[in-house]
Structure 1
Amino acid sequence: MAPVSTRAFSIPRPASSSLGINATLQRLAWLVGSLLVFAILWQIIAEFLQNRYLPTPVAVFDVLMREARNGELWKHTSATLLRVFFAFVISMFIGTAIGLVLGRYKTADRFFDAWLILFLNLPALVTITLCYIWFGLTDAAAVTAVALNKIPNVAVNMREGARSLSKDLSEMAIVYKFGWWKTLRHVTIPQLAPFSAAAARSGLALVWKIVLVVEAFGRSNGVGYKLTIAFQEFDVTTILAYALAFILIVQFIEFTILQPLQARVSAWRR
């Protein structure tokens, strides 16, 4: 009997790159369509009410373009983004380290669990006020205040990730003599990556909101500072223009970096 070729039973693999592009385009279409409907509803309501405290999207866009042309928009958004970046990196690094220790060592987890709950429930306004009193009205104080508010959230996420590490995979790595670096790269990090990505996504949304409060409280630049000035002048159009600009920036980071990253690090579970 002639041997049967295994090619007859091979399953064709989908083109992963084309599937990824199609998924991205589909997400983009839904995003654009949803925002377009929101803008139309906003325009209709604003035109109907004719209230100076509810400007139309067209008026907000005009202010946005004006601020972009005179350089104010880039000046304040760049200052805010820089604070967001440093606070985000510091909180992810420290929070991850704390979470891994608490997840792997039960004694440490039992002892420091009360501390974690305390800082999780500490209002951001208290942390911001204390940091400004202790360290002065500086960028270092602002970044520290934001990081302190985010670290407990990262620690909780990474603690759950450390608890869920597979003992079977760890034992397999020992049996096959992977070594610490190969074990870390091919066994530990892939299991922790989904938890880290989730912490990053939720962290970005939390960090930039707190940064705006920090800037409103004690900085002389940034989106939060600009919103405070607009509030004092009851300038709702400028408030909405700066809010819209920063929302678009954060959504761009979420859509182009964080969502694809989370999908990539979670692919091995399928």
Structure 2
Amino acid sequence: MTSQRVAQPAATARPRAASVPALLRRVHAPTILVLILLVVAWAIIAARTSPYVLPSPEKVGRTLLDLARSGDLWAHVAATLYRVTAGFLLGTALALVLGLLASSRQTARGVLRDINAVLNATSVFVWIVLALIWFGLTDRAPIFTTLMITIPVLLSNVFEGIDNLDRKFLEMAQVYRFGPYATFFHITVPSLVPYLFAGMRVAFALGLRVSVVAEIFGVSTGVGYMMNYARDTLRTDAVFAWAVVLILMMLLLDNLVFAPLLRWLTRWR
């Protein structure tokens, strides 16, 4: 009896001990620790290096605060988000239209797959140069570049969703004599939503990076323009500050917008 009484508290203590590592993982403690060590190493190296080559974390932090206080941060972030969102939404709408065509005609699906393969193989710099030639130094250049980069990603996920359609639903649509449009909107689209949102999550992040590159060459506002301007004026601390802004934009949008939407859609499915 005594051994059983002693063993019982030990058994109940094990889950508590095991929950500590789980809690640390939940709050990303290992990742935070690694980031702290990287910042410390950065500070040590920066102290022995020219500020032009590698500014200190403290200097970058002060520059970031100055940008936020002056309002330049929010204005240029808004300009970049506008261009990315416009190109991204156009790409999503076009992917849905092409998905309708691909789901209704087998021949069209084959042609679109081949075209998508060509788009995937086209370098982003091709679209940037063409955008500058066609649209000049306007917002349409980065919007067009974002559109052409996001379409292949979205189309690939649309094709995957079409290939994994439940044939029973399609047979049911035939029994009830659904037309191509009714079949697409009532059968195909609900089945494509999880695949489409998974592609949208990747496409938006890719479009954001591409739009920033296009801003370096084509416009006078935005995160990419400000990074290039900081480089031209020998403000390496501002280059690092805008790089931090870009990383934070990607992380916040992915974790606060796309990840919750994808979890909800997967649970709904």
TM-score class, shorter:
0.7 to 0.9
1:258 has 2:258 as partner: yes
Which residue of the partner structure matches residue 87 of structure 2? 87
Out of 33, 40, 46, the position equivalent to 1:44 is 40
After superposition, the Cα gap between the structure-2 partners of 1:134 and 1:176, relative to the gap in structure 1 and judged at 3 Å, is: closer
User: Which deviates further from its counterpart, 216-225 or 160-169?
Assistant: 160-169
Give the Å deviation of 1:259.
Answer: 0.7
On the 8 A contact 1:99/1:156 being kept in 2, the answer is no
On the 8 A contact 2:104/2:180 being kept in 1, the answer is no
After superposition, the Cα gap between the structure-2 partners of 1:147 and 1:27, relative to the gap in structure 1 and judged at 3 Å, is: farther
Which residue of the partner structure matches residue 146 of structure 1? 146
Distance in 1, Cα, partners of 2:123 & 2:182: 41
Which residue of the partner structure matches residue 228 of structure 2? 228
- In structure 1, give the amino acid aligned to 2:32: L
Distance in 2, Cα, partners of 1:83 & 1:184: 30
SS at match of 2:221: coil
- 1:239-258 paired onto structure 2 within 5 Å: 239-258=239-258
Which residue of the partner structure matches residue 5 of structure 1? none
How far does the alpha carbon of each residue in 1:165-211 deviate from its partner, in whole angstroms, 9 at most, with x for none? Answer: 11102323555788989866664333211111111110111000011
Count matched residues. Answer: 243
TM-score relative to the length of structure 2 = 0.80
TM-score relative to the length of structure 1 = 0.80
Which residue of the partner structure matches residue 9 of structure 1? none
Distance in 2, Cα, partners of 1:205 & 1:150: 9
Distance in 1, Cα, partners of 2:82 & 2:237: 25
Give the Å deviation of 1:114.
Answer: 2.7
Distance in 1, Cα, partners of 2:179 & 2:100: 19
Distance in 1, Cα, partners of 2:231 & 2:182: 55
Give the Å deviation of 1:135.
Answer: 2.1
Which residue of the partner structure matches residue 207 of structure 1? 207
Distance in 2, Cα, partners of 1:120 & 1:41: 38
Which residue of the partner structure matches residue 6 of structure 1? none
On the 8 A contact 1:158/1:195 being kept in 2, the answer is yes
SS at match of 1:138: coil
Structure 2: which 5+ residue stretches go unaligned? 1-22
Q: Percent identity over the alignment?
A: 32
SS at match of 2:220: coil
Distance in 1, Cα, partners of 2:254 & 2:30: 16
On the 8 A contact 2:141/2:214 being kept in 1, the answer is no
Which residue of the partner structure matches residue 238 of structure 1? 238
On the 8 A contact 1:190/1:265 being kept in 2, the answer is no
After superposition, the Cα gap between the structure-2 partners of 1:182 and 1:264, relative to the gap in structure 1 and judged at 3 Å, is: farther
How far does the alpha carbon of each residue in 1:77-116 deviate from its partner, in whole angstroms, 9 at most, with x for none? Answer: 1111111110110111112322342344221122333322
Structure 1: which 5+ residue stretches go unaligned? 1-24
Give the Å deviation of 1:268.
Answer: 4.4
User: Which deviates further from its counterpart, 59-68 or 232-241?
Assistant: 232-241
Distance in 2, Cα, partners of 1:99 & 1:178: 17
After superposition, the Cα gap between the structure-2 partners of 1:164 and 1:181, relative to the gap in structure 1 and judged at 3 Å, is: same
Which residue of the partner structure matches residue 127 of structure 1? 127
